[in-house]
């Protein structure tokens, strides 16, 4: 069992007040809070280890490089990647997806197809729209069912030898659906298509093993898993990353530069142009250590408990409609109250110290799908409690009374 | 007709009576509910001011040296604030509107809702109200 | 006069030991060290203010957004930009230049020309090589003179109505040359070309005013000016930024997304896809405050004093050759000792606690120009002292004896 | 001829005598200077191992069941380390080289110079020496 009060004590922000109330932070899908060890890792880096990485001969440069590469090792182990150089440091999930989309278009011909789903975050839609536009390929969309799951039969029918890439989320940030990515990967590979998984909402909630999962690309953000902002991961299989053209250029991604021609460095440097977010990468290791110490499976189990509790309490409020009701769900609850605008609910519960997100969650096609302007979203993390859920439910009830 | 300054003063006095945010929000919700409806034919996308979350429709008419604003929003709290802004600016003459300092916003504790970083479209709405005023003042 | 010992006391890393010696950090061109207020700003952000920015209704989201935008204001003022939305947050100088190069290629036709100089950092070379390759334009190179200055007459002759962009550094990171960017901008504009200035080495050493300078783009990195890693700035004139197509896509850079078409947000969001490096951006403000409190002109004056001293002491060592001897120089000294490899010198002085950089400094064309494998580079910052220079000179002498 | 293990032991003993880094570096510099020169015809780009800063040329020859390595570097400190590696591995048989554990690197305090993150090409050089050994052992 997890000792949640001990976990909470590691997050300094959780003891702050908001509008005179204890903060209840339920906006974890947007970004999580940070434990003290992550905060300390950044401070310590700057106070004791800071230097630019990779090319320096001097002691600090070596130290910073070792710390930086230690993070890469840690992440490799955390996601079960085969090679260390399959881990590329980016700015975030959005950056990772853009990197792939920008390179992948050079593999595409007119008439080729990319498949995404109706459930995707804008960051896993727009890069593919642009990629298709620039390569003359077609974008195909897997619709979602009323319960928030992808229509898998529709997907199987979409798949063909024209399919070159399937890009879908592991967990929907707007609905919480845990998608059957194993099946999607298997079926996609059977027609020879590559698969990119947007794991932004999954990476600290589901235990990952790239070698088993067999995804060709997997993307996630440190800031959604107790790590710093400005750090993301692109995992890619070695051979595909080798085939992909470089994305940004300059700095460390170069082997030789001259005006008659430039050659590029090997993986992972080929995709890491410019001075990286060194302090962020170094501190990300502490976030992974934090997660590994708790164990992802135990986190998932506790979050499942919170999800069940919050869902059943919420459904006791008359007029609540939850969007996303699939059996396999992450601890994300998107809902509306009949006749009320999500923005109004968010404004009022905020005054009671409760941080929930309202709006379209950067997933406008889903809002269109359900014909709503947005939803109220509760997204839970391992430091949340049933008591907090009670406070939130009461606040929502209060909002409902005020607004009705 | 009161001046913009006088109306602001009244609003500040109104808000001074509230003991907590609940009373204030309830008042805004009431104002929102009572806001004179916008003519449906003006509730069109040309008149839409998009915040990220709540939408505001704004229409302006110019007659006898004064601007009459009508507006709507899909969120009731936003609509309440819209109602106050209309209360302050509607019926005034263009040059007064164009140069008006909306100090009351700070004093009644709505500063946050009306900060440029908020996603409710209200800042753009004020900008749009003033743009109308500048346009109409050129017709004077 | 600056109180240097007081300044030093603000940088915790400066009191650490390296190989048993007091650290002498002379690798400021690669990255600077961070004052306590910058370190504290990041910690404080995570311990008290952390939330995702821009779209949240709740208190913390508003607070984080306000802090984030306050940084944008501070930077606008610091560089004298006309509009706040002309400040785009990127990952670093390399990211900023890639953003422009990627978009600018859509403005170019076969036969158009881009001009760079022989002195550029790889990050201001390779993106333009790719940009030209993809647009069928030609890359022209301003050679440098023996003293490290650009050959301005050559430049004037290169300029023509075919010139669409001139991209040059404000200060050369490998030679220290302060380039006459005012003249370059004036002349380029006179033929209708746009100008991008790579200000990575200039932004905390030269006082900047974008409205006076009249550059079309100006790029720099926070980590080279006492700020955090993973944060860069792209300044661009409003009308050009508006004309430039978006770079990365997803997240906040979108107005509306649907499968029938996507529209983009206004500046600056159009260029800020995905969750930004929020803590870094927030802490960058403290770095700018640190610089502003000292005053850039006073910093420049003190650094000039250090430069003169270090140069004259260095030249007392027999066999020293300095690369970059122009009259207007920043506090960067690149040199070699006759018959010795820079790597060997770096290895030995490191053992005496002195951090200097050796190698090609990501400016291989300059090394080719002077026909050398690399140089030893001393790059000074406001917290350095003459005593440290003495220690460094002694260490170099010692290395020379050991290696000869 | 000593075994790889024996030679490593000797080197560790040599280094144990040094009192400080200066003596150690001076020794490396001497080793660098004394390294038997590589035949000029092998100092070609095919034999070049590029670190970022110092370059290493490596040549391997196979005769009578043993590999003879010759090498050079443009940096003298690198060349000193190269000399030690050649001392350990040159003249041994391919399968010994391919499976050799180079423990001595840690013990003589050169771990840092031989870490994969360093920019001196030495790690790639060891890799290349072992690759030769694997290739030649297939000819056996
Ligand atoms: C002149 C110059 N341009 C560009 C860069 C690249 O900056 P960054 O690595 O922060 O992207 C540097 C940094 O080394 C530089 O000195
Ligand atoms: C499913 C999903 N994909 C992508 C993203 C984008 O991540 P980031 O903003 O860190 O680039 C998010 C974050 O909101 C997400 O939830």
CATH number of B4-137, picked from 3.90.1010.10, 3.30.360.10, 3.40.980.10, 3.40.50.1000: 3.90.1010.10
The β-bridge relationship of strands B55-63 and B66-73 is antiparallel
What percentage of chain A carries pLDDT values higher than 70?
100
Rounded distance between C-alpha atoms, residue B69 and residue B63, angstroms:
11
pLDDT tens figures, C212-263: 999 999 999 999 999 999 999 999 999 999 999 999 998 778 888 888 888 8
Contact A25, C59 (CB under 8 A): no
Q: Across chain C, what does the average pLDDT equal?
A: 96
Query: Does A343 contact B26 at a Cβ distance shorter than 8 Å?
Result: no
* Contacts of residue A296, Cβ cutoff 8 Å, sequence gap at least 6: A204, A205, A206, A207, A208
Please tell me if residue B53 touches chain C, with a CB cutoff of 8 Å: yes
Neighbouring chains to B with at least 3 Cβ pairs closer than 8 Å: A, C
Residues of B classed as catalytic: 52
Q: Is A32 in the pocket of ligand 2 (CB under 6 A)?
A: no
Side-chain-side CA neighbours of A48 within 13 Å: the count stands at 8
Write the DSSP assignment of D9-25 as a string of letters.
HHHHHHHHT--SHHHHH
Whether C343 and chain A come into contact, CB under 8 Å, resolves to: yes
C354 pLDDT higher than 70:
yes
Alpha-carbon distance D73 to D37, whole Å?
A: 10
Residues 321-340 of chain A whose Cβ lies under 8 A from any Cβ of chain C: none
Q: Band of the pLDDT at B140, cuts 50, 70, 90?
A: low
Task: Please give the pLDDT value at position B116.
Answer: 66
Instruction: Give the C-alpha separation, A4 to A161, whole Å.
Output: 49
Q: Is any Cβ of chain D less than 8 angstroms from the Cβ of A54?
A: yes
pTM of the full structure: 0.96
- CA D24 from chain centre, in angstroms, equals 17
**Site to substitute for ligand 1 among C128, C173, C231, C324, most atoms within 8 A of C-beta:** C173
Bond prior to B68 in cis (omega within 30° of 0): no
Residue A345 backbone dihedrals phi, psi, to 5 degrees? -65, -45
Long-range contacts of D8-11 (CB under 8 A, 24+ apart): D8/D88, D8/D102, D8/D103, D8/D104, D9/D104, D11/D84, D11/D87, D11/D88, D11/D104, D11/D108
Domain at A4-30+295-403: CATH code: 3.90.1150.10
pLDDT above 70 (res B119): no
Catalytic residue ranges of A:
362
Tell me the CA end-to-end span of chain C in Å, nearest whole number: 41
| Cα dihedral across residues C346, C349, C350, C354: positive or negative | negative
Residue B52: pLDDT over 70: no
Which pLDDT band, with edges at 50, 70 and 90, does C191 fall under?
A: very high
C367 close to C360: Cβ distance less than 8 angstroms: yes
Res A184: pLDDT: 98
**pLDDT one-digit tens code per residue, A21-40:** 999 999 999 999 999 999 99
Q: pLDDT by residue (tens digit) across A356-404?
A: 999 999 999 999 999 999 999 999 999 999 999 999 999 999 999 999 9
What is the reported pLDDT for B120? 67
Contact flag A39-C47 (C-beta cutoff 8 Å): yes
Nearest 5°: phi and psi at C298? Answer: -70, -40
Q: Which two tokens stand for residue C315?
A: 């030249």
What is the best residue among A224, A230, A277 to mutate for testing ligand 2's pocket, by most ligand atoms within 8 Å of CB? A224
CB contact under 8 A, C358 and D53: yes
- Chain D touched by A164 (CB under 8 Å): no
Q: Which residues of chain D have pLDDT under 50?
A: none
Q: Where are the domains of chain B?
A: 4-137
Q: Could you state, in order of their start, the residue ranges of all structural domains in chain C?
A: 4-30+295-403, 39-292
Q: How far is the CA of A401 from the centre of ligand 1 (A)?
A: 57
CB-based burial of residue A56 (10 Å sphere; 0-12 exposed, 13-18 middle, 19+ buried)? buried
Q: Is A198 in the pocket of ligand 2 (CB under 6 A)?
A: yes
pLDDT category, A5, cuts 50, 70, 90? very high
Per-residue pLDDT, averaged over C165-169, amounts to 98
Q: pLDDT per residue over A73-103, tens digit each?
A: 999 999 999 999 999 999 999 999 999 999 9
Q: Is it the case that residue C398 has pLDDT exceeding 80?
A: yes
Q: Is A66 in Cβ contact with D117 (below 8 Å)?
A: yes
Over range C378-382, report the average pLDDT: 98
Cβ-count burial C284-308 (b if 16+ within 10 Å, e if not): bbbbbbbbeebebeebbebbeebbe
- Interface predicted TM-score (ipTM): 0.95
Confidence of residue B54 (pLDDT cuts 50, 70, 90): confident
Per-residue pLDDT at D1? 67
Q: What is the pLDDT of residue A399?
A: 97
pLDDT for residue C315 is more than 90: yes
What region, left, alpha or beta, does residue C104 occupy, with left being phi > 0 and alpha being psi -120 to 50 degrees?
A: alpha
Closest ligand 1 atom to C172 CA: 1
Mean predicted confidence (pLDDT) in C67-90: 97
Q: What is the CATH number of domain C39-292?
A: 3.40.640.10
């Amino acid at each position: 069992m997890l000792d949640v009060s001990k976990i909470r004590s590691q997050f300094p922000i959780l003891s702050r007040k908001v509008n005179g109330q204890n903060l209840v932070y339920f906006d974890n899908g947007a970004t999580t809070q940070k434990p003290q060890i992550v905060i300390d890792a950044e401070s310590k880096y700057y106070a004791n280890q800071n230097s630019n990485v990779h090319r320096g001969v001097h002691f600090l440069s070596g130290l910073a490089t070792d710390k930086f590469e230690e993070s890469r090792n840690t992440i490799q182990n955390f996601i079960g990647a085969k090679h260390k150089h399959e881990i590329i440091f980016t700015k975030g999930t959005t950056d990772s997806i853009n990197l792939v989309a920008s390179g992948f278009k050079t593999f595409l011909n007119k008439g080729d197809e990319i498949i995404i789903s109706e459930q995707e975050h804008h960051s896993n839609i727009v890069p593919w729209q642009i990629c298709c536009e620039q390569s003359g390929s077609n974008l195909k969309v897997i619709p979602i069912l009323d319960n928030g799951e992808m229509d898998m039969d529709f997907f199987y029918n979409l798949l063909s030898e024209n399919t070159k890439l399937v890009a879908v989320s592991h967990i929907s940030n707007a609905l919480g659906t845990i998608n059957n990515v194993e099946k999607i990967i298997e079926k996609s590979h059977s027609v020879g298509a590559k698969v990119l998984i947007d794991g932004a909402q999954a990476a600290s909630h589901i235990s990952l093993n790239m070698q088993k999962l067999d995804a060709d690309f997997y993307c996630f953000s440190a800031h959604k898993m107790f790590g710093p902002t400005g750090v993301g991961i692109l995992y890619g299989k070695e051979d595909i990353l080798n085939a992909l053209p470089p994305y940004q250029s300059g700095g460390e991604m170069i082997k030789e530069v001259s005006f008659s021609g430039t050659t590029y460095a090997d993986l992972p440097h080929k995709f890491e142009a410019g001075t990286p977010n060194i302090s962020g990468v170094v501190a990300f290791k502490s976030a992974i250590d934090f997660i590994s110490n708790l164990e992802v499976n135990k986190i998932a189990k506790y979050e499942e408990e919170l999800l069940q509790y919050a869902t059943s309490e919420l459904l006791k409020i008359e007029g609540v409609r939850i969007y996303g009701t699939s059996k396999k769900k992450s601890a994300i609850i998107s809902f509306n109250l009949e006749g009320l605008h999500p923005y109004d609910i968010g404004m009022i519960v905020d005054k009671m110290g409760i941080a929930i997100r309202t709006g379209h969650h950067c997933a406008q096609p889903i809002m269109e799908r359900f014909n709503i302007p947005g939803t109220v979203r509760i997204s839970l993390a391992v430091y949340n409690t049933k008591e907090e859920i009670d406070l939130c439910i009461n606040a929502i009830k209060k909002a409902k009374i005020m607004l009705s | 007709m009161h001046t913009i300054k006088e109306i602001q003063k009244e609003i500040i006095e109104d808000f001074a009576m509230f003991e907590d945010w609940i009373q204030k929000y309830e008042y805004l919700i009431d104002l929102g509910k009572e806001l004179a409806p916008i003519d449906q034919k003006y509730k069109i996308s040309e008149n839409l001011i998009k915040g990220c979350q709540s939408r505001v429709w704004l229409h302006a008419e110019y007659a006898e040296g004064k601007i009459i604003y009508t507006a709507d929003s899909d969120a009731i709290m936003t609509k309440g604030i819209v109602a106050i802004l209309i209360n302050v600016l509607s019926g005034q003459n263009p040059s007064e509107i164009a140069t008006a300092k909306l100090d009351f916003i700070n004093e009644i504790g709505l500063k946050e809702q009306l900060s440029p970083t908020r996603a409710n479209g209200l800042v753009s709405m004020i900008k749009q109200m003033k743009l109308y005023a500048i346009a109409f003042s050129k017709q004077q």
